[in-house]
Amino acid sequence: MAVSPELLHPGAIPKRLTAEFSTPHGQDRVRSGAVVETGGITDLTRLSDALVAKLQSSETPHLAAEALRRLVEQKMREVTRHNIVRRTAFSERLQDLMTRCMRQQYTSAELIAKLVEMAREVVDDARRGEKFDPPLNWRELAFYDAVADHGTAQQLMGDEVLAAIARDLVAEVQKKLKPDWIAREPVRAGLRSAIKRLLARHNYPPDRRPEAVSLVLKQMEHFANEWSTTGLPDS
């Protein structure tokens, strides 16, 4: 199999991408070429090992890398659009990956491999709630992440207890939200107190409660406008 000369030079891809994106015409050329490089694939579940190897050895791997980046970003937004914790985590990882690319820390093959690894994680994340018994829907999973994302909380409490907290939080939020709750500090204070009581009832680590309450409130703010006027959506 012939290996593209670009695979031998760590700085080739970032330099090519930077040059291509310096003009609107170049941006259009990269985007159209990227579609060709991935065979028009729009479904990340079709990223087989054979296809990945083909992308890594193509004559224009910088286009393949850009195509993958765009696909990962699009899927990431779709999967995490209601989940603050996961959206932030994936966004920071993708940003870090592209920063390292621009600093010429990866060869083209390495960059594509990193993007493929992340693509598969994003795809799997859409089904993450299914591992719980009973499964967590995307609303409950968002609150699960809000209480699990703090130090040793997950290790100390275990997934099932945190999942129970998440289910209780969804019920609590749906019950207490008001249409104008964001503008009403008494309502916010009441919700904050309810969250604290719920965490205490489940023996959530006291030293981690302030962080958890803050993140749960942020997650609630994301849902608040829609939930308070239309109830919990189905999708």
pLDDT in tens, 22-54: 444 444 444 444 443 454 566 777 778 888 888
**Looking at the structure, do residues 115 and 193 belong to the same domain, yes or no?**
no
Where in the sequence is the domain holding 71, given as residue range(s)?
A: 5-126
Model pLDDT for residues 178-204, shown as the tens digit of each residue: 666 666 777 778 888 989 999 999 999
Last residue of a domain, one of 126, 143, 175: 126
pLDDT at position 12 is: 44
Domain assignment present for 15: yes
pLDDT at position 28 is: 46
**Looking at the structure, do residues 205 and 218 belong to the same domain, yes or no?**
yes
**Contact (CB, 8 A) for 112 and 61:** yes
Q: What is the mean pLDDT of residues 211-226?
A: 85
Domain assignment present for 235: no
Domain assignment present for 43: yes
pLDDT at position 136 is: 96
Last residue of a domain, one of 126, 144, 179: 126
**Looking at the structure, do residues 13 and 122 belong to the same domain, yes or no?**
yes
pLDDT at position 181 is: 66
**Looking at the structure, do residues 89 and 199 belong to the same domain, yes or no?**
no
Please count the structural domains in the chain.
Answer: 2
Last residue of a domain, one of 102, 126, 150: 126
**Looking at the structure, do residues 16 and 94 belong to the same domain, yes or no?**
yes
First to last CA, the chain: 45
pLDDT at position 234 is: 54
Model pLDDT for residues 63-120, shown as the tens digit of each residue: 888 888 999 999 999 999 999 999 999 999 999 998 998 888 888 889 999 999 999 9
41 exposure class (CB count in 10 Å sphere: 0-12, 13-18, 19+): middle
Question: What is the pTM for the complete model shown?
Answer: 0.76
